[in-house]
Each structure stands twice: as structure tokens, then as C-alpha cells.
Amino acid sequence: MYQIYASTRESEMAVLNWTDAQRETFLQMQFDAQHTHYQQHFGDANFDLILLDGEAVGRLYLHRRQDEIRIIDIALLTEYRGQGIGSALLRDVLDKAAQAELPVRIHVERNNPALGLYHRLGFCEIGDEGVYCLMEWKPE
């Protein structure tokens, strides 16, 4: 899980004039803080690894609530992005949400390249939270 998290921060870390040890220490602290937050606020969520041929290539954290399915986090290792894996996972989530007649919501950073994917899948922006936007998909 940590390696997947760290891969989502690669471009951000690349511009810092830090040693590898400093980057590693920072990323581990950030991962631990995020994991603690998720456990405290979404304790009954599913925290799943995404496996491809038995190898962990990503993570998908889902919280099914009475009124929505919340994607807490979805991330793929860099080398597995852009191959349709994330799209397939999201379509599966949307299919399950449609069967349950529930909307799907996710907070997305405004500079996240996956924004285009969310739009293509039918997500709409429903909230502005600074660097994040809250997006929602509704079943027809």
C-alpha cells in the first residue's frame, strides 16, 4: 500500500531538492497520517489492493454509505496507468452503484490527470473545495 501511495507523489517529490532519505521519511509520515485518517473516518470501508496476475498494481478504497458509494481513493502504480485498468475498476463500481440505485462520489484534485476520465464516465462537479472538487455520478 505504501509503494502505491508513494507512486502517486512522484512528480511532486521530483521537484524537491531533498535526499532520498528525506523523501522516504516524508512520504512514510504522509502515508501513515493518511492511513490513520482513513481508518478513523472510514473504519468500515473496503481497503482493497488491485491485483494483476497476482501482483499488487494499485489500491481501491470504497465506503458504501446508506445514501452513496464514496470512492475514498483509487491509485495505480505509474507503470500501470493509461492501460484501462482504472476505467474498468470504475465501471465496475458504477455498475454496482446503478444496481443499488446510489450515486458515486469522489474528491479529486483539480490538477489530477484522471479528471478527464471521470468526466468521460459521466461524473459531474458538485462541490468546490479549493484544490479539490467533489464529483458525482448518478445512475439513470
Per-residue pLDDT tens over the stretch 86-121: 999 999 999 999 999 999 999 999 988 889 999 999
Percent of the chain with pLDDT over 90: 81
pTM score: 0.87
Phi, psi of 81 (to 5 degrees): -80, 150
Q: Among 38, 75, 39, 84, which residue's Cα sits nearest to residue 56?
A: 75
Helix, coil or strand: residue 37: helix
The candidate with the shortest Cα–Cα distance to 3, out of 29, 25, 38, 27, is 27
Task: Please give the CATH number for the structural domain made up of 2-137.
Answer: 3.40.630.30
